[in-house]
């Protein structure tokens, strides 16, 4: 799996895991928060993406345990790997550079060109 | 177990067995959490609409992983990525053609000259912009009927040819057969011929 550029789903999952270990639903909730509920990820997309990210070494399983809010049910947790963190940083920097170019070319409304 | 969860567990049976074994239970539990969080019947209806849009493309994509070569898989991921970037309502055959030309440069160079590749890409971007909507609620853009047919046909052709996997060449051959689509017309307009260029 190529990790650059990252798909939106992969990048949002990486961002969610920068806050610590999360189970599937925790990741979903974080993504909704990141995007002001504009994007929602179904379980099919979430676990399909997690599978590819596990294979690429971007995330790792962090065991199963009970969610503090739902004591009786065990959930599988995921964590960011060093490679995953590196990929997230690289992608954020790539997007930042792209945005700077777009601003410089006055592509965005209310944008002020910046000097390098 | 709620009725919703029981129905969702039936849908999970459409994913490949190995995938279901690894991810079926976490998916069902995640869906259970979503159902619990849907406080009203209208929110539950909305959740089901999103779930039903998410289910077919992801289930089919997991099956496809067994049959598609690396470039073919990557093309579908890139097509999804591009379509999501344009907030598209559905994944089209044009998205697939754009992705194949992006992912498999050697194949693109075999079939078309650089000017033709750029012309096709410009036309598809123009088309995508025209269809663009303001926002999308899902990461996985649902597949159009034509997109689904192209992928299925490519997979079947690879199987018939005794190949373990479909690749981008099968996708292009299948796109050419999808008459009435802009993608098929663009390829023909730029001189790509199924029999001559793809040996079928």
Residue A43 touches chain B, beta carbons under 8 Å = yes
Q: Which of B93, B67, B38 is nearest to B156 (CA)?
A: B67
Work out the mean pLDDT of chain A and round it to a whole number.
85
ipTM of this complex: 0.83
Angle at which helix B168-177 crosses helix B93-103, to 10 degrees, equals 150
State whether A42 and B54 contact (CB < 8 Å): yes
State whether B54 and A43 contact (CB < 8 Å): yes
Higher pLDDT residue, B47 or A113?
B47
Q: In the predicted model, what is the mean pLDDT of residues B50-72?
A: 84
Chain A residues within an 8 Å CB radius of B19: 51
Residue B75 touches chain A, beta carbons under 8 Å = no
Which tokens hold the place of B78?
A: 């890139």
How far is Cα A53 from Cα B84, in angstroms, rounded to an integer? 19
Nearest residue on chain A to B103, alpha-carbon basis: A2
Confidence band for A66, pLDDT divided at 50, 70 and 90: confident
Residue A2 has pLDDT above 50, yes or no: no
Position B27 scores a pLDDT of 96
Chain B residues within an 8 Å CB radius of A2: 74
Position A108 scores a pLDDT of 80
CB proximity list for A69: less than 8 A, separation 6 or greater:
none
CB neighbours of residue A8 within 10 Å:
18
DSSP calls for chain A: ---SSPPHHHHHHHHHHTTS-EEHHHHHHHHHHHTTTS-B--HHHHHHHHHHHHHHTSEEEEEEEEETTEEEEEEEEEEE-HHHHHHHHHHHHHHHHHHHHHHHTT-STT------
Could you tell me where the DSSP H helices lie in chain B? 3-12, 17-37, 41-67, 70-85, 93-103, 105-111, 114-131, 145-160, 168-177, 182-189, 194-198
The tens digit of pLDDT for each residue in B141-190 reads 788 899 999 999 999 999 898 988 889 999 999 999 999 899 999 999 99
Q: Which of B166, B34, B57 is nearest to A9 (CA)?
A: B57
Q: Which of B27, B31, B84 sits opposite A8 (nearest CB)?
A: B84
Q: What is the DSSP letter of B154?
A: H
Residue B140 touches chain A, beta carbons under 8 Å = yes
- B74 min Cα distance to partner chain A (Å): 8
Q: B30, B52, B133, B135: which to substitute to probe chain A, counting the most A Cβ within 10 Å?
A: B30
Position B8 scores a pLDDT of 96
Chain B residues within an 8 Å CB radius of A48: 58, 61-62
State whether B139 and A25 contact (CB < 8 Å): no
- B188 min Cα distance to partner chain A (Å): 31
Position B195 scores a pLDDT of 62
Confidence band for A73, pLDDT divided at 50, 70 and 90: confident
The tens digit of pLDDT for each residue in B107-138 reads 999 999 989 998 998 888 888 777 766 555 56
The most confident of A1-5, A66-70, B121-125, B144-148, by mean pLDDT: B144-148
Q: Which of residues 66-85 of A touch B (CB under 8 A)?
A: 70, 73, 75-76
CB neighbours of residue A109 within 10 Å:
5
Q: Which of A42, A48, A25, A64 is nearest to B37 (CA)?
A: A25
Q: In the predicted model, what is the mean pLDDT of residues A18-42?
A: 91
Position B93 scores a pLDDT of 93
User: In degrees to the nearest 10, what's the CA dihedral of A17, B22, B70, B63?
Assistant: -130
Residue B2 touches chain A, beta carbons under 8 Å = no
Residue B48 touches chain A, beta carbons under 8 Å = no
Please give the interface size between A and B, counted as residue pairs whose CB atoms are below 8 Å apart: 85
Work out the mean pLDDT of chain B and round it to a whole number.
87
Q: How far is CA A102 from CA B129, B141, B144, in A?
A: 18, 26, 32
Nearest residue on chain A to B51, alpha-carbon basis: A42
Residue A3 has pLDDT above 60, yes or no: no
């Amino acid at each position: 799996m190529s990790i650059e550029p990252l798909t939106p789903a992969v990048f949002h999952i990486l961002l969610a895991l920068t806050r610590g270990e999360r189970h599937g639903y925790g990741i979903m909730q974080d993504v909704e928060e990141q995007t002001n509920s504009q994007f929602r990820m179904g379980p099919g997309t979430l676990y399909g993406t997690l599978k590819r990210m596990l294979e690429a070494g971007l995330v790792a399983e962090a065991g199963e345990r009970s969610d503090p809010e739902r004591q009786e049910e065990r959930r599988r947790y995921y964590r960011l790997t060093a490679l995953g963190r590196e990929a997230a940083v690289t992608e954020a920097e790539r997007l930042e550079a792209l945005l700077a170019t777009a601003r410089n070319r006055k592509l965005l409304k209310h944008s002020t060109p910046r000097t390098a | 177990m709620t009725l919703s969860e029981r129905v969702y567990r039936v849908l999970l049976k459409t994913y490949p067995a190995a995938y279901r074994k690894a991810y079926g239970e976490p998916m069902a539990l995640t869906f259970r959490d979503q159902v619990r969080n849907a406080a009203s019947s209208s929110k539950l209806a909305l959740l089901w609409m999103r779930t039903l849009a998410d289910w077919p493309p992801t289930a089919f994509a997991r099956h496809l992983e067994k049959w598609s070569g690396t470039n073919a898989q990557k093309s579908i991921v890139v097509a999804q990525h591009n379509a999501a970037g344009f907030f598209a309502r559905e994944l089209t055959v044009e998205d697939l053609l754009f992705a194949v030309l992006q992912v498999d440069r050697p194949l693109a160079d075999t079939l078309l000259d650089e000017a033709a590749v750029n012309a096709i890409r410009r036309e598809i971007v123009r088309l995508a912009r025209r269809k663009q909507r303001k926002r999308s609620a899902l990461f996985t853009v649902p597949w159009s009927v034509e997109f689904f047919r192209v992928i299925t046909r490519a997979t079947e052709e690879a199987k018939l040819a005794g190949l373990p996997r479909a690749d981008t060449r099968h996708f292009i051959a299948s796109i050419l057969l999808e008459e009435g689509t802009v993608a098929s017309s663009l390829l023909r307009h730029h001189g790509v011929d199924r029999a001559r260029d793809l040996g079928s």
